[in-house]
Structure 1
Amino acid sequence: MTIENTPQTMTLRSWLALFILALSTFTIVTTELAPVGLLTPIAEGLNASESAVGMTVSLYAWVGALSALFASVFLGNVAKKRLLLTLTIVLFLSNVFAATVNTYSMLLAARIIGALAHGAFWAMIGAAAVAMVPAKYVGAATSIVFGGVSAASVFGVPVSNFIGIHFGWRQAFWLMAVLSVIAFIGITILIPQINSKSSIGFAALKSVFKSSTLWKIYSATLLAVTAHFAAFTYIEPWLNTQAALGKSIIPMVLFFYGIAGLVGNFLTGLVIDKYLKPTVSISVLLIGAVLLFLGLSGSTLSGTAVFASIIIWGVAISGIFVGFQTWVLRMAEDKVFPASAVYVSFFNTAIGVGASVGAWIVSAYSLPMLYRVAGTAIALSVLLVAVIPAKVKRVENTVLAPRH
């Protein structure tokens, strides 16, 4: 990617613009995952099964994956600010539609509309952030913007669950609509016109797919994120099986998960540049251990054990979300936009596959079996992480002295 008129200094407006982008990513990812914390109330409200409502997460993810690839081929040189505003409007309409539906099929339609914006938005947001800041602030910019994704992944679900229990599930989607409006206003005021030219088209996409290193990252992402979301999609029903937890305590458990995720995101930001591979490796092993523990312990865990397990899970998941995204940006070099788009496609495919596999295992077997399978799978992803290089290998030009 080449950037024209790159700013040379950071101003207050620059920092605020990055936080608006973080709010935007928080909103769009929370919209994607909101049904995870609302499976039971949505199912009851629309006379559908919990597994059917879980499929709304899968459908959203699959459409988002296709949308990201479409964006990488056709939208790379569209004015970034105009595209951000358009996608935010689409997200707003999707949430309003979801908040007012009366049937399950209408909810699916509302989710498809949001997913069309989701994939394109996430695919280009990294390139937009990089174009807004001086080169020496690129790391900080991407950390802030993708911190919104990580925060949404760990904090959006408990917020949705709390609102769903106390105010009704429709109000959770209304909240996402309000956040979309705030993001739209912030983008209008704070985001500058971004003049950038990205590597786009089928040739750029083909180049990304030829990279063995990126394929290793994508494969590890697919396995780890699929396993995580297979379990995480059904965290609320699993918590309902625990005798030590009353229904009113579940939002608190999910809230602690969210707080742990924010702490994990901060800790990951401190060490990710120097210790990328160890951070990701430790994260997948911790989550694998937690999921196996939860799957093997039945319904008799103490409240303390549940809280401790959920906190470890929340802290560790940031190492996966931030880690793999950072790895792609580090290895993509001049193919940041298409490489990010493919990553988004794999990530969203993993969410969809995870939710689908989770629904099948819960229907055919049980919740404990789901957690045992997910824990084993995510722990095995460390084998893929082990073979990914931590840095781009550069070939130095050398001049050989003549032999005498």
Structure 2
Amino acid sequence: MTIRSWLALFILALSTFTIVTTELAPVGLLTPIAKGLNASESAVGMTVSLYAWVGALSALFASVFLGNVAKKRLMLTLTVILFLSNVLAATVSTYTVLLAARVLGALAHGAFWAMIGATAVSIVPARYIGAATSIVFGGVSAASVFGVPVSNYIGIHFGWRQAFWLMAVLSVVAFAGISVLIPEITKKSAIGFGALKGVLKSSALWKIYSATLLAVTAHFAAFTYIEPWLHTQHSLATSVIPAVLFVYGIAGLAGNFLTGVVIDKYLKATVSISVLLICAVLVFLGTSGAALSGIAVFIAMGIWGVAVSGIFVGFQTWVLRLAGDKTFPASAVYVSFFNTAIGIGASAGAWMVSEFSVPMLYVVAGVAIGLSVLLVAAIPTRVASAQNVLEKSYE
């Protein structure tokens, strides 16, 4: 394992951080974007849903039709598309054009994320696969828990457009890093409709996908509206909200490190504990009203941040562990479920906030994510048995 290989993994992590932060940036910018474009917060929240749904379709399309395209060339092309999407989002004057910018970015997002797992596995020796996936998909986790507070901070102090400009700059950095550090990938993964059909017949993978759908839907239903919820807390001044989100982000980074340390030996336990912790936090936040102390809010958000890393890294690692030589289609289906869950979560959250309240949303989301532990308990951890099922279904 060379220094160049480790640097390549960190560039892939930066790339995943950029694409997922681009996806979730509106979560931390709902209020300023809504005011700037004369739209409602729920309408801006729907840009997250649209991005997620398009990304889900893009991932499946890539696994079937783009598998034979050189991975490095494809990653570079998709990074350019992401750059253009962020530049357009930073310069829009209407809500409709913002939607168009989001669709453009989502087309690159799904395809990029679908291939990045197979790329990471291809550039490291077998004994480093666990560490490689933890690093690369740590970018997803870091974006989910750290990208939003960064966007929120920039939106408050410099304007929401500057957050998209930052994503455009990071796209340029990712492009340069991929150009220099990522080797040409020669290792092949099964592709096409046949491979996709085999993946969809795997009961082990379906259990992961189902657990992902429920857990991620519940998480993002709540997380999409974290900024409005924080505004309801009497103990928090508006100027303190970015600090709360930064604590959430730092906790997420710490959680990602802890997950990387224990996940190879304790995969199921890590995911299960993470799910139950988020369940407890969401129910607590939803039932505590608007009179929580500032310390209680900070602690709760810290626990949420640590736990969500176990879910994001855990499910993706589980897919790669059980997929064998079908990492590309298996990852593509996972990405589709993950992004569909984000879309459903954001939409369900918008409906519940408009019809009921943010606290009610948090209670329902907490119960839902708690139920996903039942699915997690049924997922096999033995690679051999799951792989045998996958191979038989593919034949």
Q: 2:278 is matched by which residue type in structure 1?
A: I
Q: Which residue of 1 aligns with 2:344?
A: 353
Return closer, same or farther for 1:345/1:261 CA change in 2, 3 Å cut-off: same
1:299-378 aligned at under 5 Å gives the runs 299-378=290-369
SS state of the match for residue 196, structure 1?
Answer: coil
Q: Which residue of 1 aligns with 2:35?
A: 44
* Structure 1 residue 189: Cα displacement: 1.1
Q: Which residue of 2 aligns with 1:3?
A: none
Q: Does 1:55 align with 2:29?
A: no
Q: 1:198 aligns with which of 185, 189, 192?
A: 189
| Distance across 1 between alignment mates of 2:372 and 2:324 | 25
Structure 1-normalised TM-score?
0.95
Deviations 1:234-258 (A, max 9, x none): 0000000000000000000000000
* Structure 1 residue 136: Cα displacement: 1.9
* Structure 1 residue 195: Cα displacement: 1.4
Q: 1:80 is matched by which residue type in structure 2?
A: K
**What is the alpha-carbon root mean square deviation over aligned residues?**
1.2
| Distance across 1 between alignment mates of 2:94 and 2:38 | 8
Task: Tell whether the 8 Å contact from 1:22 to 1:146 is kept in structure 2 after alignment.
Answer: yes
Q: 2:312 is matched by which residue type in structure 1?
A: F
Deviations 1:112-131 (A, max 9, x none): 00000000000000111111
Q: Which runs of 5+ in 1 are unaligned?
A: 1-9, 398-404
Q: Does 1:159 align with 2:138?
A: no
1:251-330 aligned at under 5 Å gives the runs 251-330=242-321
Q: Which residue of 1 aligns with 2:234?
A: 243
* Structure 1 residue 369: Cα displacement: 0.6
* Structure 1 residue 392: Cα displacement: 2.3
Task: Tell whether the 8 Å contact from 1:328 to 1:339 is kept in structure 2 after alignment.
Answer: yes
| Distance across 2 between alignment mates of 1:115 and 1:169 | 19
Task: Tell whether the 8 Å contact from 2:130 to 2:317 is kept in structure 1 after alignment.
Answer: no
Q: 2:16 aligns with which of 8, 18, 25?
A: 25
SS state of the match for residue 265, structure 2?
Answer: coil
Q: 1:93 is matched by which residue type in structure 2?
A: L
| Distance across 2 between alignment mates of 1:152 and 1:368 | 25
SS state of the match for residue 390, structure 1?
Answer: coil
Q: Which runs of 5+ in 2 are unaligned?
A: 389-395
Deviations 1:51-103 (A, max 9, x none): 00000000000000000000110111210110010000000000000000000
Q: Does 1:387 align with 2:378?
A: yes
| Distance across 2 between alignment mates of 1:371 and 1:191 | 41
Q: 2:16 is matched by which residue type in structure 1?
A: T
Q: 1:31 is matched by which residue type in structure 2?
A: T
| Distance across 2 between alignment mates of 1:394 and 1:169 | 49
* Structure 1 residue 146: Cα displacement: 0.7
Return closer, same or farther for 1:331/1:115 CA change in 2, 3 Å cut-off: same
Q: Which residue of 2 aligns with 1:143?
A: 134
* Structure 1 residue 395: Cα displacement: 9.8
* Structure 1 residue 396: Cα displacement: 12
* Structure 1 residue 394: Cα displacement: 3.7
Structure 2-normalised TM-score?
0.97
The alignment of Structure 1 onto Structure 2 pairs a total of residues equal to 388
Q: 1:103 aligns with which of 78, 83, 94?
A: 94
| Distance across 2 between alignment mates of 1:129 and 1:100 | 34
* Structure 1 residue 139: Cα displacement: 1.8
Deviations 1:282-337 (A, max 9, x none): 11110001000000011010001100100000000011001111111111112111
Task: Tell whether the 8 Å contact from 2:204 to 2:386 is kept in structure 1 after alignment.
Answer: no
Moved over 2 A (4+): 392-397
Task: Tell whether the 8 Å contact from 2:323 to 2:387 is kept in structure 1 after alignment.
Answer: no
Identity %: 82
| Distance across 1 between alignment mates of 2:126 and 2:263 | 18
